[in-house]
Chain A
Amino acid sequence: MIEFDNVTKVYDDGTVAIEDINFEVAEGTTTVLVGPSGCGKTTTMKLVNRLEDPSEGTVYFDGTDISELDPIELRREVGYVIQEIGLFDHMSVGENVATVPELKEWDRERVDARVDELLELMDLPPADYRDQYPRELSGGQRQRVGVARALAADPDVLLMDEPFGALDPITRENLQDEFLDIQEKINTTILFVTHSIDEALKMGDRIAIFDIGELVQYDTPREILRNPKSDFVRDFIGSDRTLKQLQVTNVAEVMREEVPDRYQGLVERERRDDIVAVSPTDSTQVALSRIIGADTDALPVVDGDRIRGVVTEDDIRQKRAVTTGGV
């Protein structure tokens, strides 16, 4: 979908922002660009909607060299979310979301329907929020509007530059979770910039780790945790690499559907409401923490009302041993 081919960007003042970057973003995936500030991740992203143009090399959009595309047309096909949000304060929430469809001259009804659909998707009931003004909203609500606005014209690609960076930790976490759900519904190719490795591991199908001006590793979150290519990557991930591995592994991957005899009691007891349980989509980190918290060695896995099996402390430990073993 998007391909960077030997891309170098040198600013007019001689600063080398990125040097010789090569990577490819597959359609429908989320790729996170992560690294310390000044590493060139934002510049890399801005090459995609031509807010910056490369000094050398080529960026391809769906196989086409983007320097051959009209920047205005291109930007209308690419959603753009920034940390500061940049809502238009003189326009209502509805008008903000309608911006790109209006630029593309959709007819009135189609625009209105799309605005309502998106506000609904972002959990901002249109009847309550459509006619409000950005200044009346909280930070989290404003960023929801920002995301809705970026998605309005159904872009093929969505660029997000530290979209949740300015929010408080609780709001950030909620928005991340919601966005993961939304992401599954929209099937858009997403390029996401952050300086937080935790956010990268959580949001990304693939992660591109940048050191100053260069791309040092481009892999899946698991591969990055399992085989950090350099000391820089290892340091960047941090000393809690093991915990992070647990974070990117789901309970579903380590649980047992056939419950061993010794845990039968656990599964039966589960029918009570007060028992501690996990869901298959919880991370093994959550599972382990609950196991320790409940002072036990296994927990039932529950999916809605259904009991799916059990997850044990030993299974979690073994799974980790297997993955770090580099299989």
Chain B
Amino acid sequence: MGIGSDLAAAYQFLVANQDRFFELLGQHLQLVVISELLAIVVAIPLGVVATRSERLRQPILTAGNVAQTVPTLAIIALVYPLLGIGFQPALVGLFAYAILPILTNTITGIEDVDESTIEAARGMGMTDTEILRKIQLPLAVPVIFAGVRTSAVINVGTAYLAFFIGGGGLGLWVISGIRLYEMSQVLAGAIPGALFAITLDTAFAVAERRLGGETLQDGSTVTG
């Protein structure tokens, strides 16, 4: 069987199981969007705290690193005794996995703000909070945004694993397809996810350029 006929078969499979497809895609999107939003809400403040407290910095970074180093499946396994199986444990796994890129970029973005810019701000009588709010965070936005982009794109791929603990999503077709040696089902699950990841990445890239356009005018990188 050639690639062409595989693709044709996958398309037929998708059309024949349209309702099921949209259900799985919906679950997949929910997993990605909710876990990503949670990660953003948690990682950015954590990153800010890490830049402001020498004492908390290392524990925060270690936690972020561990969450990313431990395989998602292992995280899911660890969550299993607490939350059982289903959508929620899957969400927790994806959330933990999505934190690190946002966390490190938040820290880098804030710490890469030019020392002289900070000194000027301090010399003009800004408090630490004002420096953070008016200078460091706005200047770090493009870098933080890049972290969210990386994290979100990875998240789309990782969400395929949610199937293993009954979290649903497109992983159901891909993994059961592999077991059944049903190539059309595997592709019908995999290709939409790939397209979703690419679309997401492109959308972020466009938004990033807009953002850069507003804040830096010439679109050069923050460090340039």
Chain A positions within 8 Å of B, measured between CB atoms, are 49, 51, 71-76, 80, 82, 84-90, 99-100, 103, 133, 135-136, 146, 149-150, 159
Contact = CB atoms under 8 A, between A and B. Distances in A.
Contacts of B126: 72, 103
Closest 4 CB pairs of A and B: A86-B120, A84-B116, A75-B125, A80-B123
Contact of A85 (B118, B120, B122): B120
Interface of B: 114, 116-127, 130, 134-135, 138-139, 215-218, 220
Contacts of B120: 80, 82, 84-88, 146
Given A103-B130, A133-B217, A88 B116 contact: no
Contacts of B127: 72
B139 A76 contact: no
21 contacts: A51-B122, A51-B123, A74-B125, A75-B125, A80-B120, A80-B124, A85-B120, A86-B117, A86-B120, A86-B121, A87-B117, A88-B121, A90-B138, A90-B216, A99-B124, A103-B126, A103-B130, A133-B217, A135-B216, A136-B217, A146-B120
A75 B218 contact: no
Given A82-B119, A89-B215, 16 more contacts: A49-B123, A51-B119, A51-B122, A51-B123, A72-B126, A75-B122, A76-B124, A82-B123, A84-B114, A86-B114, A86-B119, A86-B120, A88-B139, A100-B125, A103-B125, A150-B124
Nearest to B120: A86
Given A72-B125, A82-B123, A103-B126, A88 B216 contact: no
A196 B116 CA distance: 21
Given A90-B215, A135-B216, A75 B123 contact: yes
Contacts of A76: 124-125
A86 to B, nearest CB: 3
A133 B220 CA distance: 13
B214 to A, nearest CB: 8
Contact of B125 (A73, A90, A133, A136): A73
B133 to A, nearest CB: 12
B106 to A, nearest CB: 16
Nearest to B220: A135
A136 B116 contact: no
B223 to A, nearest CB: 11
Contacts of A150: 124
A149 B125 CA distance: 13
A103 B119 CA distance: 16
A137 B157 CA distance: 44
Contacts of A146: 120
Output the residue of A74, A103, A150 with the most chain B CB within 10 A.
Answer: A103
A84 B121 CA distance: 12
Given A82-B119, A84-B116, A103-B130, A89 B124 contact: no
A72 B138 CA distance: 22
Contacts of A133: 216-217
B125 A88 contact: no
B142 to A, nearest CB: 9
Contacts of A159: 123
A88 B118 CA distance: 9
A150 B218 CA distance: 26
A48 B120 CA distance: 15
